[in-house]
């Protein structure tokens, strides 16, 4: 950040808009002085709420009555002196307070993420904890909340620090071996060093793998709804969402682009993608829509294949290509008066629904929930997964360095690659060398954006 570091900064800690209470936070050397200037001249026992009448120092006009809590350095969120003002949650109250504060010497508005950045700079949290906090503020599902909270509490940092410690041990061992003449070393020394690197490599490979689950929980599981034109995919998505996400019409080939909606079922966040109906077509835009649909289905975590009761089981329907034992198969339009046909041999038992009447949707959401739980289930078992592309890239780089170390022709090169792996692990928590990523990470914090 380019702004001067030791200013006392302030910003609302709560989102804008009408609310019972809003919190305005100040951090820095002049935080307590600012409170006194606003009328908080009495004693403020640390970390205790005290009533205060906040006044404009210029004319003594009452701005609001509220509560103030003082958190003296270093026992505060940022590690600096922090003052939190609880006032009535009106934009006008916050605007007036901010106007008055901005006029005080040494005070200015905080940049987005600056409180957290200061907490990081003062060793109050590592980078993964800061990211966990950002994720917690953005959590929409229960599994996201749990994962973010664990990361904020340092679960991932501990896992990374332990691996980094192993790397440092292996490096120290390798360097000790380099410094010793060959004939003074026991025969198995080299093998012992390689064994240490191999153990670390395997643990790191497991960590890289955890990114699949961690990022899925963080970003939401993707569910692709696929089927032939006109079977009622958009109608089904609309009913799941409870509002008209997609256009529904009797014309086959209505949906062209992928339309997505974020939902939460059974405590899991997921994104449902409505896609273009699959069929052979000469129409250019529709054909592009179908290609996009196929890409979406191929990369989706969960597939819902939709058929219509009046054409089911439609064995020639290209949708069948996307059906496997994990697919939720749906026969829509169960309200139509047509004979009920059995599923083709080997296909999953279909859920019969009517997007028109809502019949069968309880069974459908149960079936979807079961699939989502299987996909997300591994996540609850994963105590400290990697949750971001930044983590995955760092861990993969460390893993590649270890693979090189294992195949290194001599000990010097082995030590060099170990050093790189240790550095990558240190960068993930922010222990070393992270100036280049800090602004990007902390700009994510922006209350009410
Ligand atoms: N009877 C009956 N009609 C339905 C049902 N669901 C959808 N329809 C009708 O089927 C037609 C197609 O519905 P859509 O939801 O647009 O179908 P789609 O699969 O999204 O179609 P494309 O976007 O063209 O691929 C519309 O006329 C809907 O009203 C249902 O449960 N019962
Ligand atoms: Mg559609």
The residues with which 188 forms a beta bridge, in sequence order, are none
| Closest C-alpha to ligand 1, atom 21 | 230
Distance between Cα 297 and ligand 1 center (Å): 20
Instruction: With a cut of 60, say whether residue 447 has pLDDT above it.
Output: no
SS3 396: helix
Q: State pLDDT tens for residues 282-312.
A: 888 888 988 988 888 888 888 999 999 999 9
Instruction: State the ligand closest to the CA atom of 227.
Output: 1
Flag whether pLDDT at 378 surpasses 70: no
Which of the listed ranges 3-7, 223-227, 288-292 does the model predict with the highest average pLDDT? Answer: 223-227
Distance CA 354, CA 404 (A): 57
Please state the rounded mean pLDDT for residues 84-98.
Answer: 97
- Would you give the DSSP letter of residue 303? E
Is the pLDDT at 448 greater than 80? The verdict is no
Contact 102, 26 (CB under 8 A): no
Phi (first) and psi of residue 212, to 5 degrees: -60, -50
| 3-class secondary-structure state, position 88 | strand
* Residue with more model confidence, 188 or 272: 272
- pLDDT (0 to 100) of residue 2: 42
Pocket of ligand 1 (CB under 6 A): 227, 229-235, 248-250, 252-255, 276-277, 332-333, 335-336, 354-356
Residues, beta carbon < 5 Å, ion ligand 2: 234, 254-255
Q: Ligand 2: distance of its center to the CA of 352 in Å? A: 19
The number of the ligand nearest the C-alpha atom of 311 reads 1
DSSP state of 392: H
Q: Which of 227, 228, 232 to mutate to test the pocket of ligand 1 (most atoms within 8 A of CB)?
A: 232
Tell me if 434 sits within 8 A of 427, measured CB to CB: yes
**Residue 197, CB half-sphere, CA atoms under 13 Å: how many?**
31
Q: State residue 180's pLDDT score.
A: 80
The greatest distance separating any two alpha carbons of the chain, rounded to the nearest whole angstrom, comes to 89
Q: What's the average model confidence in pLDDT over 345-372? A: 92
Can you give the length of the chain in residues? 449
Q: Note the pTM of the prediction, 2 decimals.
A: 0.73
Give the residue, by CA position, lying nearest to ligand 1 atom 30.
Answer: 333
| Cα 320 to ligand 1 centroid, rounded to whole Å | 19
- Which atom of ligand 1 lies closest to the CA of 255? 23
Q: What is the pLDDT of residue 29?
A: 97
């Amino acid at each position: 950040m380019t702004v001067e570091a030791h200013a006392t900064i302030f910003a609302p800690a709560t989102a804008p808009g009408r609310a019972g209470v809003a919190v305005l936070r100040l951090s820095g050397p002049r935080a307590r002085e600012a409170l006194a200037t606003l009328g908080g001249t009495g004693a403020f026992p640390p970390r205790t709420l005290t009533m205060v009448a906040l006044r404009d120092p210029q004319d003594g006009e009452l701005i609001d009555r509220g509560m103030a809590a003082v958190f003296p350095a270093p026992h505060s969120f940022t590690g600096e002196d922090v003052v939190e003002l609880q006032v009535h949650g009106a934009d006008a109250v916050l605007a007036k307070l901010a106007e008055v504060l901005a006029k005080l010497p040494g005070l200015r508005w905080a940049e987005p993420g600056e409180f957290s950045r200061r907490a990081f700079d003062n060793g109050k949290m590592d980078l993964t904890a800061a990211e966990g906090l950002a994720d917690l503020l953005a959590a929409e599902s229960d599994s996201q909340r749990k994962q973010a909270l664990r990361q904020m509490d340092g679960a991932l940092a501990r896992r990374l620090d332990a691996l980094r410690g192993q790397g440092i041990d292996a490096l120290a061992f390798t360097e000790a071996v380099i410094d010793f003449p060959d004939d003074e070393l026991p025969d198995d020394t080299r093998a012992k060093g390689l064994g240490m690197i191999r153990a670390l490599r395997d643990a790191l490979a497991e960590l890289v793998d955890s990114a699949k689950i961690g990022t899925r929980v963080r970003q939401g599981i993707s569910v692709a709804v696929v089927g032939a034109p006109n079977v009622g995919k958009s109608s089904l998505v609309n009913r799941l969402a409870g509002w008209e996400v997609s256009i529904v019409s009797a014309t086959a080939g209505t949906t062209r682009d992928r339309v997505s909606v974020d939902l939460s079922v059974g405590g899991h966040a997921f994104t449902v993608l409505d896609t273009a109906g699959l069929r052979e077509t000469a129409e250019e835009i529709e054909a592009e829509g179908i290609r996009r649909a196929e890409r979406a289905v191929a990369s989706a975590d969960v597939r819902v294949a939709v058929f219509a009761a009046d054409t089911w089981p439609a064995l020639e329907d290209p949708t069948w290509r996307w059906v496997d034992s994990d697919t939720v198969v749906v026969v829509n339009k169960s309200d139509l008066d047509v004979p009920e046909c059995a599923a083709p041999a080997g296909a999953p038992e279909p859920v019969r629904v009517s997007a028109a009447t809502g019949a069968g949707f309880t069974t459908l959401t149960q079936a979807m929930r079961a699939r989502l739980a299987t996909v997300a289930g591994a996540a609850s078992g994963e105590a400290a997964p990697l949750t971001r592309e930044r983590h995955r890239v760092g861990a993969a780089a460390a893993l590649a360095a270890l693979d090189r170390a294992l195949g290194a022709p001599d000990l010097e090169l082995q030590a060099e690659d170990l050093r790189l792996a240790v550095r990558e692990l240190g960068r993930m928590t922010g222990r070393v060398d992270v100036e280049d990523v800090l602004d990007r990470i902390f700009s994510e914090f922006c209350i009410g954006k």
